[in-house]
Amino acid sequence: MTSVTDIPLLTTLDRSLAAFVEKQDASCPPEIGLAASLASFAIRQGHVCLDLGNLEVNEITPYLDKESQAALQSLKPSSIIGSENEVQKPIILTKQNKLYFHRNWHYEQRLINAIKERMNRDGSLDLKENYTYDNYQHLAPEQAKAVQTAKILNMVFISGGPGTGKTTTVLYILAEIFKKAGNRDLKVALAAPTGKAAKRISESLQSEFRNLPNLESGNLPTETMTLHRLLGYQHNSSQFRHNQQFPLPHDVVIVDEASMLDLLLFSKLLEALKPDAKLILLGDRFQLASVEAGSIFGDLIEASQFNDLLSRHCVELNQNFRLGIDNALFAACEAAKAGNASTVLETFDKANSTIRLRPFPQTRILPSAFEKLAQHFVHMSKAVSPSDALAQIQKACILTPLRHGPYGVEGLNVLLQSLHRNALGLPESENYFSGQPVIITENNYIHRLFNGDVGILYTEPEKVGPLYAYFQGNEDEPIRRFPISGLPTHELAYALTVHKSQGSEYDTVQLVLPETESPILTRELFYTALSRSRNEVVIWGTADTVGQAINHRTHRNSGILDTMI
C-alpha cells in the first residue's frame, strides 16, 4: 500500500489529514487516510471532490501502486466516511464514487437544490409568450433568445466570448424588464467576482447605452460592486450578511464574469436571493475557471445540453460582432475552444494573419527580443496627458501563464522596466518614473481601487513635478489621481498573468509561453489569452507548446453533471 510520504506532490496539510483519520479511528484501513490526503490535494487543484472512479486522469496516480488504486476504487462507508444519507460524517462518498469533504458536499447540494427549485418554479412558463423577433430586430437571434428568456424566467445563464454582444444583450434585457414592470420601482444590482470586473461591466454598460434606444438612463444601475460586498462580507467568516433568512432587497441581480465564481460564492449568491428575484449570469464558459474549487458556470452550461429543463435557462452567444469569420484570430479562438490544435497552427501561416508565432527567445537574447516592445511604454511616458497615457495602456499588453522566472511576470517586469528606463536615458537608480504601468493587488474600498485595477505613473513631459498614479474613473470623475505613497499594495504591470487579465481587452496581446512543457498550460488559459485581444496576437513560443496547451483541457471534478443530467 502506497504511503502518503511516498507522494511528493502532497503538502504537510494533505499528509496531516491521513494522520487525523488514523487518530479518529485506529481500526480504519490505511486507504481511508490516503483517500483523505488525495481529496485535500484535489481541492487545491480546483476540484470540488476526488473522483475515485476515474483515478487514471489524476496526476498523483503514477505514485500509487496497483493495490492502493484498487483499494481506493472500492472504498466503502466507515466510521469516518459517510454515504449520501450520513451527512453528519466529515467525509462523504457518493453513489458515483466521488469523495467529498463535508463542507464541499454541503455547498454543492445547496447550490443544486437552489437551481432546481428555480427551474421547477419557472417550468410551466411559456418562453414564446408575446414573442416576435421583430421586437429585437437589432439583435442576433441568440441575443433575442437571451432577452426573451430573461424577460420570462427568473434565472438565465448567458455564455459568450468577447465581441459576442453580452453588454448589448444586458441593456435590452433591462429595457424589457423595466417595460414589463410598468410603474413599479425595481431595485437592480450589478456585480462581479472582482472589483476590476465590476468596474468594467459598469463602464461597458454606460458606453453602450448611448448607442441604444428604448432605455431610459434612470433605469441603469448607478453602482457596481464585488459579489462579496453585495452579499455583505464578514471578516474572517465564510458567512455573509445576506442569506436565506435575510435576503438581498434587489429584484434583479446581474453578475458578470460568472465563470470566475467558485462553489462557495455561487451557492451563497443563490441562497441570498429573494424567491421572486431575477438572476442574470454572464460569462464565457471556455475561459479560465475560478481560482477556488469548481467550474460551476461551465458545468451548468454543459449540463444544459442534456437537461431540457435547464436548457431553457441557458443561452450561448456565438456570433462575433468584432472579428469577422474570415479573421485569423477569430478562427484561432474558435479552434482553440474546440481543441483543434492543427487548425490553430494553420492560422499562423496565413498572409497578413492577425495571429503570429515567433521563435521562443533564449534568456540571453531576451533584451534584444523585447527592445522594440519597450517603445510602447516610451510612448506612454511621452503622452500629453494622464488620460492619453491611460488610453495607451489599452493598446498593448504582455501576458504570461507564469509568475516566477525569466518568462514569468516577475522576470518580464524587471526586464521591461530596465529597457523602458534605458530608452528614456534614466539612471539605473530610478525605480519610479513617468509611463510605468502599475496594478493594484488588493481591494481598497476607501480609495475605490480594486485588485486587478491597472493605472499609470505620470508626470507631464519636459516638466519638473511630482509623480502621481492615475486610474480610470467614471463619468463624474473620469481620471482619478493618487500620490504613490497612498496607493494600496501594488506592483509593476509591464506584464500580467493571464489570470489577472480576465475582464480586460487590448488592441494587441503578446503572449509569452513557457520554454518547456508545463502543467499550467491549458486550453482554457490559451483561449483566455487570445480572447483578450481586439485585433492582433503575437505568441512567443513553439508549435509544440501551443499544441500542448490546446490538447490539455482543464477538467474539474464535481457532482453537478451527475445530478443535473
What is residue 194's predicted lDDT score, i.e. its pLDDT?
81
Crossing angle (nearest 10°) for helices 12-24 and 30-44: 150
Q: How far apart are CA 399 and CA 500, in angstroms?
A: 9
pLDDT in tens, 72-89: 888 888 888 988 888 788
> What percent of the chain lies above the pLDDT cut of 90?
42
What is residue 374's predicted lDDT score, i.e. its pLDDT?
83
Strand-pairing partners, residue 253, are 189, 279
Domains and CATH numbers, the chain: 12-103 (1.10.10), 123-322 (3.40.50.300), 328-551 (3.40.50.300)
Q: Is 475 exposed, middle or buried (0-12, 13-18, 19+ CB in 10 A)?
A: exposed
Q: How far apart are CA 453 and CA 439, in angstroms?
A: 6
Q: Is the pLDDT of residue 312 over 60?
A: yes
What is residue 172's predicted lDDT score, i.e. its pLDDT?
87
pLDDT in tens, 437-485: 999 988 887 888 888 888 999 987 766 678 899 998 766 677 889 999 8
Q: How far apart are CA 169 and CA 150, in angstroms?
A: 10
User: Which region among 183-192, 257-266, 292-301, 426-435 has the lowest average model confidence (pLDDT)?
Assistant: 183-192
- DSSP string for residues in 505-554: -EEEEEEE--SS--TT--HHHHHHHHTTEEEEEEEES-HHHHHHHHH---
Arithmetic mean of pLDDT, 537-563 = 91
Going 381 to 384 to 387 to 388, the CA torsion angle's sign is negative
Report the run of H or E that residue 102 belongs to, with start and end. helix 102-122
pLDDT in tens, 357-399: 988 777 666 777 778 778 889 899 988 888 898 988 888 889 9
Mean pLDDT of the chain: 87
pTM recorded for the entire structure: 0.89
Q: Is 454 helix (H, G, I), strand (E, B) or coil?
A: strand
What is residue 215's predicted lDDT score, i.e. its pLDDT?
58
Q: Is the pLDDT of residue 340 over 60?
A: yes
In degrees, rounded to 5, the angle at the alpha carbon of residue 441 between the alpha carbons of residues 437 and 444 is 110
pLDDT in tens, 489-510: 999 999 999 998 888 889 999 9
Q: Is the pLDDT of residue 213 over 60?
A: no
